Amino acid sequence: MPQPHLRTVVVLAAGEGKRMRSSLPKVLHPLLGRTLLGHVLAAAEPLAADRTVVVVGHGADQVRAHLTEVAPGASPVLQERQLGTGHAVRIALDALPDTAGTVVVINGDVPLLRPQTVAAFVEAHESAGAAATVLAAEVPDPTGLGRIVRDVQGRLEQIVEERDATPQQRALREINAGIYAFDLARLREALGKLSTDNDQGEEYLTDVFALLRDAGEPVAVHCAADHVETLGCNDRVELAALRRLLRDRVNEGWMRTGVSILDPHTTWIDVTVSVGRDAVIDQNTQLQGVTSVGEGALVGPDTTLVDTVVAEGASVVRSHAVGAEVGPQASVGPYAYLRPGSRLARKAKVGTFVETKKASIGEGSKVPHLSYVGDATIGEHSNIGAATVFVNYDGVRKHHTTIGSHARTGADNMFVAPVRVGDGAYTAAGSVIVADVPPGAMAVARGQQRNVDGWVLHKRAGTDAAEAARRAGEDASDSGAPASEGD
| Contact footprint for ligand UD1 (CB under 6 A) | 12-15, 55, 57, 79, 82-85, 87-88, 107-110, 145-146, 159, 161, 175-178, 204-206, 232
Q: Does 404 bind Mg ion (CB under 5 A)?
A: no
Stretch that binds Mg ion, among 42-50, 83-91, 197-205, 227-235 (CB under 5 A): 227-235
Q: Which of 107, 99, 117, 119 is nearest to 159 (CA)?
A: 107
**Active-site position among 58, 369, 381, 406:** 369
Instruction: Note if the bond before 111 is cis, omega within 30 degrees.
Output: no
One of 59, 108, 232, 328 touching Mg ion (CB under 5 A): 232
Supply the DSSP string of 325-344, one letter for each residue. Answer: EE-TT-EE-SSEEEPTTEEE
CB-based contact 483:472 (threshold 8 Å) = yes
Say which entry of ligand UD1, Mg ion, none residue 259 contacts (CB below 5 to 8 A, set by partner kind). Answer: none
CB-based contact 414:388 (threshold 8 Å) = yes
Q: Which of 308, 310, 306 is nearest to 297 (CA)?
A: 310
Number of residues that bind Mg ion (CB under 5 A): 2
Coil vs helix vs strand at 483: coil
Cα distances from 313 to residues 164, 230, 274, 326, 347, in angstroms, run 59, 39, 15, 10, 9
Helix (H) or strand (E) holding 191: helix 184-191
- Of 187 and 417, CB closest to ligand UD1: 187
Say which entry of Mg ion, ligand UD1, none residue 85 contacts (CB below 5 to 8 A, set by partner kind). Answer: ligand UD1
Say which entry of Mg ion, ligand UD1, none residue 182 contacts (CB below 5 to 8 A, set by partner kind). Answer: none
- Of 93 and 175, CB closest to ligand UD1: 175
Q: Does 161 bind Mg ion (CB under 5 A)?
A: no
* Closest separation in Å from C-beta 89 to ligand UD1: 9
Say which entry of ligand UD1, Mg ion, none residue 347 contacts (CB below 5 to 8 A, set by partner kind). Answer: none
* Closest separation in Å from C-beta 196 to ligand UD1: 11
- Of 240 and 468, CB closest to ligand UD1: 240
Q: Which of 16, 9, 118 is nearest to 57 (CA)?
A: 16
Cα distances from 327 to residues 34, 41, 293, 349, 360, in angstroms, run 27, 34, 11, 10, 11
- Of 27 and 350, CB closest to ligand UD1: 27
d(CA 119, CA 273): 23
- Of 232 and 327, CB closest to Mg ion: 232
* Closest separation in Å from C-beta 143 to ligand UD1: 11
Supply the DSSP string of 285-341, one letter for each residue. Answer: EEEESS-EE-TT-EE-SSEEEES-EE-TT-EE-S-EEES-EE-TT-EE-SSEEEPTT
d(CA 17, CA 26): 5
Q: Does 109 bind Mg ion (CB under 5 A)?
A: yes
* Closest separation in Å from C-beta 47 to Mg ion: 21
* Closest separation in Å from C-beta 231 to ligand UD1: 8
- Of 22 and 274, CB closest to ligand UD1: 22
Give the amino acid at 69: E
Stretch that binds Mg ion, among 156-164, 228-236, 383-391, 473-481 (CB under 5 A): 228-236
Report 363-392 residues binding Mg ion (CB under 5 A): none
Helix (H) or strand (E) holding 44: helix 36-44
Stretch that binds Mg ion, among 39-47, 106-114, 243-251, 328-336 (CB under 5 A): 106-114
* Closest separation in Å from C-beta 254 to ligand UD1: 28
Give the residue nearest to ligand UD1 (CB).
146
Say which entry of Mg ion, ligand UD1, none residue 386 contacts (CB below 5 to 8 A, set by partner kind). Answer: none
Say which entry of Mg ion, ligand UD1, none residue 15 contacts (CB below 5 to 8 A, set by partner kind). Answer: ligand UD1
Give the residue nearest to Mg ion (CB).
232
- Of 79 and 401, CB closest to ligand UD1: 79
Show Cβ contacts of residue 429 under 8 Å, excluding neighbours closer than 6 positions.
385, 410, 411, 412, 413, 446
* Closest separation in Å from C-beta 303 to ligand UD1: 35
Say which entry of ligand UD1, Mg ion, none residue 204 contacts (CB below 5 to 8 A, set by partner kind). Answer: ligand UD1
Supply the DSSP string of 157-186, one letter for each residue. Answer: EEEE-GGG--HHHHT--EEEEEEEEEEHHH
Known active-site residue 87: no
Say which entry of ligand UD1, Mg ion, none residue 83 contacts (CB below 5 to 8 A, set by partner kind). Answer: ligand UD1
* Closest separation in Å from C-beta 92 to ligand UD1: 9
* Closest separation in Å from C-beta 144 to Mg ion: 8
Distance of CA 182 to the CA centre of its chain: 34
Show Cβ contacts of residue 298 under 8 Å, excluding neighbours closer than 6 positions.
279, 280, 282, 314, 315, 316, 317
- Of 109 and 412, CB closest to ligand UD1: 109
Residues 431, 434, 438, 439, Cα dihedral to 10°: 50
- Of 78 and 128, CB closest to ligand UD1: 78
Phi, psi of 107 (to 5 degrees): -65, 140
The contact set with Mg ion (CB under 5 A) reads: 109, 232
Q: Which residues are catalytic?
A: 369
